[in-house]
Amino acid sequence: MSEIAEIEKMVNERRNRDIQLTIEEKELFYKINARTAKGNLDNISRTKSYASFYRRHNEIRWSFLASQVSRNAGWNMTDLEGEWFPKILSKKERKILFSTYERANWLIFSDAYPQLLVYEYSNQVGKPYFHMLKLFSVSRFIESEWEYYWRHREGNRLVTAQIINEQNIIQKPVIEHPYYRKRVFQRFFYNLQDLLHFSSVIFPTLEGRLYGFSVHQFTKLDARIELGKKLASLLFHNSYYDHFLRFSNKVDHTGSRFDYEQYVSERRFRNTPFLRTTYPIIRHTQDNRIDWYRGNRYEKWFDKVELDEQIELTNWYLRKQKQMQVGILIEEILRKNKG
């Protein structure tokens, strides 16, 4: 049986299956819910939960990728209340941008972390419990991919499947949601950042070098999946992995870009604040989650990616930061003159 046919078979077998829980499974369900809620309090708890899981199960590479991307989300959040963005963005605009980051990352964690904990339990007892993922409204797509991984231990396929799943998770509730589309993704500031590639996902090192990719076409699902695959390929590249892991293990995540800027340049002061002194805990509500998967096997999303020649972004990043700061100062002056 081919790989695609085997996964299709597993999906179809689970499509209409009801779950009768044992007492043990009910206890597991409540424990996973409680641990997920505790880990999903804010960006700091998410980042640390992902990283902690990776230290326990480094075969599940997505958890390390998730912790690194979550660090970037925290830096983006505190940028909004740092030295520069308040000069050109109103308090209301900054609040909306923060809620966009927060909602997307909360949704991903609420979907992904139960998967990780079910896998962990399956490992402990020596048999798969992925049938329980249905209770957490996890997509049939990723449930079948976990089953396939359990049988074949193909880590490359699993990390790609997890990237595909997470980006589909946020597509309709965030990217295509009328509120965020109108107030964020159709606004001038977002489109300017996208056009000029000011946004980026970076992996720092203790040696003061930054690696990663600029982010553009963020609203395009295919583009985000492609970016995720490139980030995974970079993160686990033989030449760089140890550097990224050392930074992750040594540097506590505070949400401030000073976490890595202290290693990059002569700067010895922070111009973005600590996340937990800046933002309160946000109480989210879980909408009725509709499975994004419609039975099509999107094999194009599993295609391998080639890393760009320019993966070290240290000089590029510092140059972009200066360009953005100059642009903000000019805009600030123009606004004052108009006033």
Dihedral angle, C-alpha 330, 333, 337, 339, nearest 10 °: 120
The pLDDT of residue 191: 64
**Residue 24: how many other CB atoms lie within 10 Å:** 11
Predicted confidence (pLDDT) per residue in 45-67, tens digit: 999 999 999 999 999 999 999 99
Confidence band for 339, pLDDT divided at 50, 70 and 90: low
* Contact between residue 197 and residue 113 where contact means Cβ atoms under 8 Å apart: no
What's the confidence (pLDDT) of residue 31? 98
Q: Output the CA angle 90-78-117, nearest 5 degrees.
A: 130
**Can you tell me the distance from the alpha carbon of 212 to that of 233, in angstroms, rounded to the nearest whole number?**
10
d(CA 129, CA 118): 6
Dist CA 114 CA 132 (whole Å): 10
Domain holding 96, by residue range, is 3-338
Average pLDDT, the chain: 90
Number of domains in the chain: 1
Q: Quick one: pLDDT at residue 15?
A: 47
* Beta-bridge partner residues of 212: 202
Residue 86 CB neighbour total at 10 angstroms:
15
CB 200 within 8 A of CB 213: yes
Q: Which residue has the higher pLDDT, 310 or 122?
A: 122
Distance in angstroms between the alpha carbons of the first and the last residue of the chain: 71
